[in-house]
Amino acid sequence: MAKKTFSCSACGASFSKWSGRCEGCGEWNSISQDAGLSAGPPSKSLGNRRGSPVQLSDLSTEEAPPPRTLCGMGELDRVLGGGLVPASAILVGGDPGIGKSTLLLQAAAQFARSGLKTLYVSGEEAAAQVRMRAQRLGLTEAPVKLAAETNLRDILTTLEAEKPQLAVIDSIQTMWADNVDSAPGSVSQVRAAAHELTTFAKRHGVSIVMVGHVTKEGQIAGPRVVEHMVDTVLYFEGERGHQFRILRAVKNRFGAADEIGVFEMTGAGLSEVTNPSALFLSERGETSPGSVVFAGIEGTRPVLVELQALVAPSPHSQPRRTVVGWDSGRLAMILAVLEARCGIPFAGLDVYLNVAGGMKISEPAADLAVAAALLSAREDAALPADTVVFGEISLSGALRPASQTENRLKEAQKLGFTAAIAPAGGKTGTVAGLQLTRPSDLAGFVGETFGAG
Ligand code: TYD
Ligand code: MG
């Protein structure tokens, strides 16, 4: 008898026995028994061909890499690493309602217009509903085939018969493999469906895009459990109240990870934002204390964003530390360094930090900009409006230069900034018209920017 295995529906970790709390992610009540692929009769599509290995040296070096297809939506093409690679498996994750179906219907139409035979399989909406959405998006003329299916075997049969070059599966959580004995949306089902679809993509040379809803609910498996199976993992992020949406590559076998594409949700679908810096800074009013512009790099592209900090006396015995769009552990570190190396305490003060526009930042190069925003808020002193800040802070209080310093400076200059504060070291190149301040440690920065501190 096959050994029983258990896995967590939140993070996908596997265990040999059940427990109430996942050791991997700490989630309660998220572990359930796997039915696994080995349970039940083997599915037809897996076949029984024997593998025939080839010598690495026999692979022709002259063979050109497979041609990629550009869809014409520049933001999407770039995130994919320069177009769609044939026979690739792509996962698009995101919160429910963020706009995944909208994005993929638009993408399917664009790829179809670029000459790819495209099939859009919806497991969530009836074909008529998808058509209604297409009407709203002005895509009714696009040569995309629609299917409303949830049975995996039927879908694979359809794919085999139709032989599309690109298939969109919306969503992986609605797929149902009849050889797996558990409900749609469970870890075993999601894993089995993703595995079958990925295998199919490689065998038949079809590019398959799978949609996965991100969920904290233990009942439904999130996209995490299939991340390792696919070639490319994209997350569609954004704040509900904001119209900006960011498509981020968190894994890509065919391009740079961390690449982002920026979109705006409008009444007629998603439109591309080709100059995100201008957009993120467009809501910026008069400079006020606590507001600092950070010159960041997302993937291969520089992006300027506004950081906002608020520091106020706390009525609580344990002051609040609230962060939106950045890492709260990193904020605690910066506060500790400011206190230990520069003698600036934040005890008894509530600290709020927000990245404007619904953007999420993970670069350590934001450290110095965060420190500047915190100090500016604490001292109630605004930084000059036309200044960008970036650089990494180490625990010793020393500043480390950020990668791609020159690109950051060029973007700042392009958007009309006239001054930059960045750590000494790092290649600045020649960026005309930008006044550079180059502190080597945090204490020096505090002294120069905020007087004695
Ligand atoms: P949807 O693509 O259905 O989200 P998901 O597939 O990620 O669950 O998008 C749903 C939201 O997008 C919905 O709240 C309405 C909004 N929307 C627009 O604002 N404009 C549009 O043209 C469309 C199609 C949707
Ligand atoms: Mg949807």
User: How far is the first Cα of the chain from the last one, in angstroms, to the nearest whole number?
Assistant: 70
Check whether residue 369 and residue 332 sit in a common domain: yes
CB 406 within 8 A of CB 429: yes
- Asked whether residue 195 is domain-assigned, the answer is yes
Check whether residue 269 and residue 310 sit in a common domain: no
139 lines ligand 1 (CB under 6 A): no
Q: What percent of the chain has pLDDT over 90?
A: 63
Among residues 273, 305, 337, the one where a domain terminates is 273
41 has a pLDDT exceeding 50? no
203 has a pLDDT exceeding 70? yes
Task: Name the nearest CA neighbour of 423 among 364, 336, 374, 352.
Answer: 364
Q: What is the CATH number of the domain that holds 435?
A: 3.30.230.10
With the most atoms of ligand 1 within 8 angstroms of its CB, the residue from 92, 102, 215 to mutate is 102
- CA 167–ligand 2 middle distance (angstroms): 15
Check whether residue 262 and residue 284 sit in a common domain: no
Q: Can you give the length of the chain in residues?
A: 453
- Asked whether residue 432 is domain-assigned, the answer is yes
Check whether residue 247 and residue 331 sit in a common domain: no
Question: Residues 59-94, buried b or exposed e (16+ Cβ, 10 A)?
Answer: eeeeeeeeebbbbebebbbbbbbebbbebbbbbbbb
pLDDT of res. 38: 44
> How far apart are the C-alpha atoms of 201 and 209, rounded to whole Å?
10
412 has a pLDDT exceeding 60? yes
- Asked whether residue 58 is domain-assigned, the answer is no
> How far apart are the C-alpha atoms of 283 and 243, rounded to whole Å?
13
Ligand 1 closest atom vs CA 103:
2
Check whether residue 288 and residue 426 sit in a common domain: yes
How many independent structural domains does the chain possess? Answer: 3
* Between residues 287 and 232, the one the model is more confident about: 232
Q: Whose CA is nearest to atom 18 of ligand 1?
A: 267
Ligand 1 closest atom vs CA 94:
7
Average pLDDT of the chain? 88
Residues with CB under 5 A from ligand 2 (ion): 101
219 has a pLDDT exceeding 80? no
- Using pLDDT thresholds of 50, 70 and 90, give the confidence band for residue 451: confident
Q: Is 130 exposed, middle or buried (0-12, 13-18, 19+ CB in 10 A)?
A: buried
96 lines ligand 1 (CB under 6 A): yes
Q: What is the CA radius of gyration of the chain?
A: 25
85 has a pLDDT exceeding 60? yes
100 lines ligand 1 (CB under 6 A): yes
Task: Name the nearest CA neighbour of 234 among 168, 175, 185, 281.
Answer: 168
One-letter amino acid identity for 80? L
> How far apart are the C-alpha atoms of 24 and 14, rounded to whole Å?
9
> How far apart are the C-alpha atoms of 442 and 338, rounded to whole Å?
8
- Using pLDDT thresholds of 50, 70 and 90, give the confidence band for residue 9: confident
One-letter amino acid identity for 375? L
CB 67 within 8 A of CB 86: yes
- Using pLDDT thresholds of 50, 70 and 90, give the confidence band for residue 252: very high
Among residues 244, 273, 302, the one where a domain terminates is 273
- CA 101–ligand 1 middle distance (angstroms): 7
101 lines ligand 1 (CB under 6 A): yes
pLDDT of res. 39: 41
Q: What is the CATH number of the domain that holds 105?
A: 3.40.50.300
Range of the domain at 23: 1-34
> How far apart are the C-alpha atoms of 182 and 362, rounded to whole Å?
37
- Across residues 203-218, what is the average pLDDT? 85
Among residues 273, 292, 314, the one where a domain terminates is 273
pTM of the model as a whole: 0.81
Check whether residue 225 and residue 155 sit in a common domain: yes
Ligand nearest to the CA of 133: 1
267 lines ligand 1 (CB under 6 A): yes
- Asked whether residue 409 is domain-assigned, the answer is yes
Check whether residue 81 and residue 11 sit in a common domain: no
* Tens-digit pLDDT profile for residues 89-120: 999 999 889 999 999 999 999 999 999 999 99
Check whether residue 22 and residue 97 sit in a common domain: no
Ligand nearest to the CA of 266: 1
Continuous H helices in 317-451: 328-342, 367-379, 405-414, 442-450
- Asked whether residue 284 is domain-assigned, the answer is yes
- Asked whether residue 88 is domain-assigned, the answer is yes
Ligand nearest to the CA of 214: 1
The DSSP code for 72 is S
Check whether residue 269 and residue 347 sit in a common domain: no
- Using pLDDT thresholds of 50, 70 and 90, give the confidence band for residue 175: very high
Check whether residue 10 and residue 152 sit in a common domain: no
223 has a pLDDT exceeding 90? no
- Asked whether residue 172 is domain-assigned, the answer is yes
- Asked whether residue 46 is domain-assigned, the answer is no
pLDDT of res. 218: 42
Check whether residue 24 and residue 120 sit in a common domain: no
Element (H, E) at 190: helix 187-204
Check whether residue 144 and residue 289 sit in a common domain: no
Q: Whose CA is nearest to atom 10 of ligand 1?
A: 97
63 has a pLDDT exceeding 80? no
pLDDT of res. 301: 86
